[in-house]
Structure 1
Amino acid sequence: MKLKLLFFLTLFTLLLFNFSRAQTGGKITGSVLDEAKKPLDGATVILLLAKDSTVISSQLVNRDGSFAFQNLKDNTYLIRATYIGYKNYQGSNVVVSGQKPVDLPAFILTAAGKTLNEVAVTAKKSFIQQKIDRTVVNVGALISNTGTNALEVLQKTPGVQVDADGNITFKGKSGVMVMIDDKPTYLSAANLATYLRSLPASSLDQIELMDNPPAKYDAAGNAGVINIKTKKNTIKGFHAVLGGNYAQGFYGRNSENANLNYRTGKVNLFANLAYDEEHTWRRLEIDRDYLDANGNRTSSLKDISYFRPTNYNTNIKAGIDFYASPKTTWGIVYTGDISRDHDNSPVYSLLYGQNGGLDSTITTLNTSRNKFGSNGINLNYTHKFDSLGRELTFDLDYIRDISGGNQLFVNNSYLPDGTLTNSTTLNDDLPSTINIYSAKADYAHPLKGKAKLEAGIKSSYVNTDNAANYFNVVNGVNTIDYSKTNRFLYKENINAAYVNFNKNFGRFAIQTGLRVENTNGDGHQLGNAQRADSSFVNHYTDLFPTAYFSYNLDTAGHNVLVASYGRRVGRPNYGSLNPFTFFVDEFTQFSGNPFLKPQFTDNYKLAYSFRSLFTIALAYNYTADVQGETIHRNGDVFISTQGNIGQQKTLDLSVNTNFQPTKWWSVNLYAEVYKNTYQGAFYTGYLNQSQVTVSGNGNNQFTLSPTWSAELSGFFDTGGTYGQFVTLPKGMLNAAIQKKIWNNKATIKLTMQNILQSFSPSGTITNIADARASFHNTLDTQVARLAFTYSFGKSANTPQKRETGGADSEQSRAH
């Protein structure tokens, strides 16, 4: 590791101090902007000879809209700029003489008209765009995203999978950091899934997939970063999008949303409001065999659980931008989320003896009511010193999450003939409070030769207070159970700084950076009448280098090779460090692990892309002290906890392509083959497990007429290994049809999800001492949905909002 860090530090230093290396030939530089003078990231610029319009070279502009043609012979040239949804722009003649650089005024592209000679012209972004450090998915390119929510959009995103509990994996790895507008979601996996379900797809612009994020981003997130970028209109006046949908699965569900924007003078006001009511159903079956020392079955247990939760979720994101001057913007954003749910989840446990006969039956009546409230405030500032890209930004964040839950467990044991032998009642109260404070500042400074230097600092502080109060209920009287009752306090401070450098050398481009993070954690488990106090302290400082190298195999930039390396960390969730136990039933428990260590991952990747139409990539990832859910026995009880399993190695080959067989049919396909290998000793025994997995997803869009369109999409997974868990194949097929009405201002869409009822996450659990186990889920995912959206007021082709938020990874670990 030290040699690796020394290599990248040396490379970074050499590039930083030698970026002004002399170039031969002439040079033309410029930028491409929209009517609001914002960069048109992804626009194409083409260099032509003026005398006969021969194409000399072409390239995609950089993220700041800039471009540079270098090593040019003395001649007279033309430059043309194009971008989907905008009119082409062609400048006047440009004369190159000697090595004197020519810096052109910005090209301003205007939006294309709606009609031309009464023939409708429809402009649409491509579904996938490839960049040096990320893959960009344009949400609006898929009609089936209309009327859905953000979680459903992620399910159709290349390389992303969402399991039955809403846990998100990216390229076969868990631990991905999900961000909204470069701002952390600050939610546990369960609460994140709830929030994403209530966030309408109509409010989303793009999804950025970064399996190896640059140094600007927090190093947290073993599987990289998924950044969901939302829309915000900047055209003066009022604009709104209203939507609603009703879906029918086993039960009905509905959601409504409104996205509002009003700009006048120097002030821009915006608000996104959403309400979601969801009633779902799930059946979980777990089979366990208990074994003797020789591996013979001594008894077995079948757990059948039914979940019928009803969730009510309301969220709001509202803010104001004040344009103090053409170069200075102040903003304040409020985010709020109120969720409540109730569930009546019975569990039926059947115990069988050695000969297979039924010994006893236990029923657990589990009634729960939970509530969650989150309030966050963000203050942001942007100052642009000049038009060249020199910029300073800062963010201040405060988030407060308060949650609580009450559960009532009634356990009744019966003999095979139905005789009641035992009855116990347990009640719990589970309050939790999390406070998160964060401050960060970022500075970008352009250098000669279209190079750029970026740097920033960040500090965050988190304190959590989680309690678990358990009571034995006898004859209606609650008596505290000290063996289960607990209270856990945790404080954490992370300080970070980074520097990032990028530069184009003609057909060769480089981006490299270094981030340092200092972590200080302090946990305290309070004692009670039966248990003494305990505490732990963690302090560590780590370096996280990143590097990207791209090379255009041709002068037009159609064939591009990209190589990258990055190091990342996965810190334990705050709840995973909490040592007390949560109960599901008499035979199933969840427990925290205060000794859980962070995991560190090295990511290597080599990719080839052709005009963003086809990409093939080979990646290798190595993770030390990998974290994962572990299952171990305590008598007949199975206890689930997060543990450090050992090491994980992943070799991944992925292919992504989008093409158009005909004018009315467009296709996007993503497929990958990866091998996960887990090795290491932990408390359930030595684990040495590997498996090859084939997975992919695809989307077909059909333009049936100017107002009618349809879509057929789906995904598949052949199953794989994830620590102790080995999953079975699963997949899903979806269809949608859409009609535009009211001069294309409104849409009606009908979708059908999981047509073949082929999504039933199932598998086995290995490495449990003297036991074996398997699980099978039946989910309420075959759902028909009717959705309606309506847009009115002034609109803009390019959503624009300064991406705010400085608390990058803390709340993703909130529970």
Structure 2
Amino acid sequence: MKFVQVLFLTVFTLFVFNFAYAQSPGAKISGSVLDGAKRPLDGATVILLTAKDSAVVHTQLVNADGSFAFQNLKNNTYLIKATYIGYKNYLSGSIVVSDQKPVSLPAFILTPTGKTLKEVSITAQKSYVQQKIDRTVVNVGALISNTGANALEVLSKSPGVQVDADGNITFKGKSGVLVMIDDKPTYLSATSLATYLRSLPSSALDQIELMDNPPAKYDAAGNAGVINIKTKKNTTRGFNAVVSADFARGHYDRTNESINFNYRIDKVNLFANVAYNGQKTYRRLEIDRNYFDTNGNPTSSLQDISYFRPTSNNTNIKAGADYFVSPKTTWGIVYTGTISRDHDSSPVYSLLYNNTGGLDSTINTLNTSKNHFNSNGINLNYTHKFDSTGRALTFDLDYIHDASGSTQQFVNNTFLPDGTLTNSQTINDDLPATINIYSAKADYTHPLKGKAKFEAGVKSSYVNTDNAANYFNVIDNVNTIDYNNTNRFLYKENLNAAYVNFNKTFHRFSVQTGLRVENTNGSGHQLGNAQKPDSSFVKHYTNLFPTAYFSYNIDTAGHNVLVASYGRRIGRPNYGSLNPFTFFVDKFTYFSGNPFLKPQFTDNYKLAYSFKSLFTIAVTYNYTSDVQNETIHKSGNVFISTTGNIGQQKTWDFSVNTNLQPTKWWSVNLYAEVYNNNYQGAFYSGYLNQSKTTFSANGSNQFTISKTWSAEISGFFNTSGTYGQFVSIPTGMLNGAIQKKILNNKGNIKLNMRDILHSFSPSGAITNIVGATSTYHNYLDTQVATLAFTYSFGKSTNTPQKRDTGGANSEQDRAH
């Protein structure tokens, strides 16, 4: 199958090249669009017009560096119009194209619409969602309701992204998405990643990049694609900063404070972002389980009610320096750190019923826990631009050390229906874990003639993890080791990768193809104890990951564009999921690892149409083999959760995204999709065959009330869906916010209300369990009111990032 795919892509690309080269090339007009401080205006629109009658020839958005180029032009006299929201339109003089010679224009300098003699008042704001050929970009600050939210809540409002009650992230109906921070992996398990994202305030975020089919330069990990969260950083000369603080009230109080600043002088740029949040949240989880004999007759049932009230304090730090050796060479160093502490006392009330529905016994459990997570990372990066054509070399060295730990106590008391205590059990545990990641990568970019570009890169990473689970039965206040559950798991992995990528534009047609090869070498060692023997495993595999993008401008103005793409992805098992021992969750729920887990592979196909970058529709098809998914089976009355390969998954997805501005004071972004997930494969119950079609939509409405007042209404809704054994029920959320600019527009006050109707309640059922059925219902602390204040001082901080790439691109999402 892989050989056929690679052969098809190669033959098709060669055919396209031969066809395109047969077309006669034309002239080229290139230039850039900047603001008064010579900063690029990413997202500005440039329109090519004929000078004779101002007829539109072509329209395009400028690149991130402000550059643009109109290719394959006929001899004529042209005009170029540049527009950007909040800035005055720019119209060039006559541009004569003759003899197909290229024309390079001086930069277009746009001035803000609001301007006084003393200062410039910037009123421009990017759209909430921007579409690019290989990704969707979400501008976090464009939504007022993001104020006071955390990164996980911001993600839940992004197009195609869903977040469940436990913080698990799915993208376009699929799990296994690779989440990155500033092009670096988070190196965390799903649970730890959710904790980290909850600790990261929205004030520290700049953009979120959503890539369902990432290009070859990105790691192939993440069968559902890549979500890259970009934090704020700027290089404006002098000193500038943004400080923010907010107070929120839900079931309990919470606060967020942050400062983001930089200082640029001569050849040195210093920057830092420090954020703190303290919060106490609330969650009520209800579980109902019914048990049956082999004939389908009821034998017993369980009703479980759990209360979670975790209190957490989190500090995140990102700081670094750039040294500009010359206009072409830059060295940089970045430190990232996280300190997280939380504690919780979670009572659980369990009611056990017999086969006639009569109460058999009651179990009251008090779970207390103290958890900590410390992460320290250092990145050394280098960039060298050989010339003005864009030829460049970059490299990154990364080291990350994570240390986490949890101490828990479970006190279980069992009573008869008349209140008589029949059993008391106390279990203590200590769960330390460490992970070390070493990574190095280099990337080279080489522009070619005829608007073509070649890219290549290499990467190597090494990861070692150490996870221990120490369980103790407490009898007469004395801890006795529980050898059945006590264990220690060591895992090492080396990944080596290389890629090549090529793109070129021919008249109305553009092509980008890439090929990535990854070699994985892993070894796991389960240490024995007094009652359990050692066990170990070794895995080696090498895989190819082709990608291809083809776009075609249907009309000469470029208003109507078709894009087709293909890519192959891999989902490697999380490190913790490979640990073969069983972990205690509560009296009726265990987690068990699976050392026999195989990686899953996904082939992604996509066809999209866009009109003026305002309206995009897309159809995608994904096929995944050896699907990894959480599975549930039972042993007696105990439910055991483990990650298993459950066969194949087929997903069809139809999506629509649009940016509208019905009036000058009202702008709208709407995203809707309909997708079908189909799972088929061998399972505990014999064979899993589950399929469901889901409708999902989210949108935002922005209202400009006056020069200093604005408001927003946003929300999302999802119908029932299926994810392996799990079937969810419909849920949604409605948000509202209002903002007032103060202090000469350098400060603002925002009032935000999330989940106004308190309708977000992730719930559902677990299917395909032999001898049992199960449903769950969550009541979450999502109805939260936030009052926030933000103040900017110094020069404007709305500047593009230099480079935030790092070498660690896929490993952290798999850590445990």
Give the shorter-chain TM-score range.
over 0.9
1:777 equivalent to 2:778? Answer yes
1:419-449 Cα offsets, whole Å, 9 max, x none, are 1111111111111010001000000000011
Following the alignment from structure 1 to structure 2, what is the Cα–Cα distance between the partners of residues 592 and 655?
A: 39
Residue 612 of structure 1 and its aligned partner are, at CA, apart by: 1.8
Offset at residue 285 of structure 1 (A):
1.0
Distance in 1 (CA, whole Å) between partners of 2:355 and 2:744 is 71
CA distance in 1, matches of 2:360, 2:148: 50
Residue 160 of structure 2 corresponds to 159
Kept in 2, the 8 Å contact 1:409–1:427? The answer is yes
Aligned to 1:276: 277
Cross-structure match for 1:28 = 29
Equivalent residue runs for 1:98-497 within 5 Å = 98-99=99-100, 101-110=101-110, 112=112, 114-115=114-115, 122-497=123-498
Query: Cα distance, 1:513 vs. partner?
Result: 0.6
CA contact (8 A) 2:144 2:752 kept: no
Residue 96 of structure 1 corresponds to 97
Aligned counterparts of 1:109 and 1:17: Cα–Cα separation in 2: 40
Amino acid at match of 1:185: T
Report deviation, 1:106: 4.8
Amino acid at match of 2:757: L
> In the superposition, relative to structure 1, how do residues 661 and 34 fare at CA in structure 2: closer, same or farther (>3 Å)?
closer
Letter in 2 for 1:475: D
Which segment is superposed worse, 315-324 or 751-760?
Answer: 751-760
* Cα distance in structure 2, aligned partners of 1:92 and 1:784: 52
Change (3 A) 1:148 1:801: farther
Cα distance in structure 1, aligned partners of 2:651 and 2:282: 34
* CA shift in 2, pair 1:542/1:16, >3 Å: farther
In the alignment, residue 163 of structure 1 is paired with which amino acid?
A: D
Alpha carbons 1:510, 1:550 under 8 Å: kept: yes
Partner Cα separation in structure 2 for residue 709 and residue 177 of structure 1: 35
Q: 1:376 to 1:49 in 2, by over 3 A?
A: same
Aligned counterpart, 2:572: 571
Partner of 2:712: 711
**Alpha-carbon spacing, 1:121–1:237, altered in 2? closer, same or farther (3 Å):** closer
SS of the equivalent of 1:418 reads coil
TM-score, L = length of structure 2: 0.96
Paired with 2:479 and 2:379, the residues of 1 have a C-alpha distance of: 43
Determine the C-alpha separation between the residues in 1 that align with 2:587 and 2:57: 73
1:716 CA drift (Å): 0.6
Instruction: Check whether the contact 2:684–2:770 (CA below 8 A) recurs between aligned residues.
Output: no
CA deviation after TM superposition for structure 1 residue 459, in Å: 0.5
Q: Which of 64-73 and 262-271 deviates more?
A: 64-73
1:229-262 per-residue CA deviation (whole Å, 9 max, x = no partner) reads 2222222111111111111111111111111111
2:50 aligned partner: 49
Q: Deviations over 1:447-503 (max 9, x none)?
A: 011111111000111000001111111111111111111000000011001111111
- 1:754 counterpart residue number: 755
Give the aligned CA root-mean-square deviation in angstroms.
2.0
Q: Which residue of 2 aligns with 1:534?
A: 535
Deviations 1:583-610 (A, max 9, x none): 1221111111111111100111111111
472-481 or 78-87: bigger deviation: 78-87
| Structure 1, 701-710 or 268-277: larger mean CA deviation | 701-710
Structure 1 CA distance, aligned partners of 2:602 and 2:668? 34
Measure the CA separation in 2 of the matches of 1:13 and 1:340: 56
Answer yes or no: is the 8 Å Cα contact 1:332–1:379 preserved in 2: yes
Task: Give the distance between the partners of 1:230 and 1:86, measured in 2 at CA.
Answer: 26
Which of 198-207 and 358-367 deviates more?
198-207
Matched, 1:650 2:666: no
Q: Deviations over 1:691-738 (max 9, x none)?
A: 111111111111111111111111111111110001111111111111
The alignment of Structure 1 onto Structure 2 pairs a total of residues equal to: 814
- How far 1:760 sits from its partner (Å)? 1.1
Offset of residue 222 of structure 1: 1.4
Counterpart position of 1:593 = 594
For residues 703-742 of structure 1, what are the structure 2 equivalents within 5 Å?
703-742=704-743
User: Offset at 1:121?
Assistant: 6.9
Change (3 A) 1:516 1:388: same
SS at match of 2:626: strand
| 1:45 Cα deviation from its structure 2 partner | 2.6
Q: Could you tell me which amino acid in structure 1 is paired with residue 112 of structure 2?
A: A
Distance 2:65 2:264 in 1: 24
Q: 1:4 to 1:159 in 2, by over 3 A?
A: same
Q: Secondary structure at the match of 1:768?
A: coil
Deviation (angstroms), 1:116? 6.3
AA in 2 matched with 1:514 = L
Equivalent residues of 1:147, 1:749 under 8 A apart: no
Q: Does the 8 Å contact 2:25/2:507 carry over to 1?
A: no
Say whether the 8 Å CA contact 1:405–1:430 is kept in structure 2: yes
Post-superposition shift, 1:152? Answer: 2.1
Aligned-pair identity (%): 76
Closer, same or farther in 2 for the Cα pair 1:21/1:61, shift >3 Å?
A: farther
TM-aligned CA deviation for residue 186 of structure 1: 2.0
In the alignment, which residue of structure 1 is the partner of 2:544? Answer: 543
Alpha-carbon distance, 1:673 to partner: 0.7
CA distance in 2, matches of 1:24, 1:652: 37
Where 2:6 maps in the other structure, the secondary structure is helix
Distance of aligned partners of 1:253 and 1:370 in 2 relative to their CA distance in 1, 3 Å threshold: same
Task: Output the amino acid matched with 1:147.
Answer: G
Normalising by the residue count of structure 1, what TM-score does the alignment of the two structures yield? 0.96
Residues 393 and 15 of structure 1: CA distance in aligned 2, closer, same or farther (over 3 Å): farther
Q: How does 1:73-88 map to 2 (within 5 A)?
A: 73-86=74-87, 88=89
CA distances 1:119-178 after superposition (whole Å, capped 9, x unpaired): 977222122221111111222222222333322221221111111112211111111111
Matched residue type, 1:305: S
Contact 1:19 1:503 in 2 (8 A): no
On the 8 A contact 2:268/2:323 being kept in 1, the answer is: yes
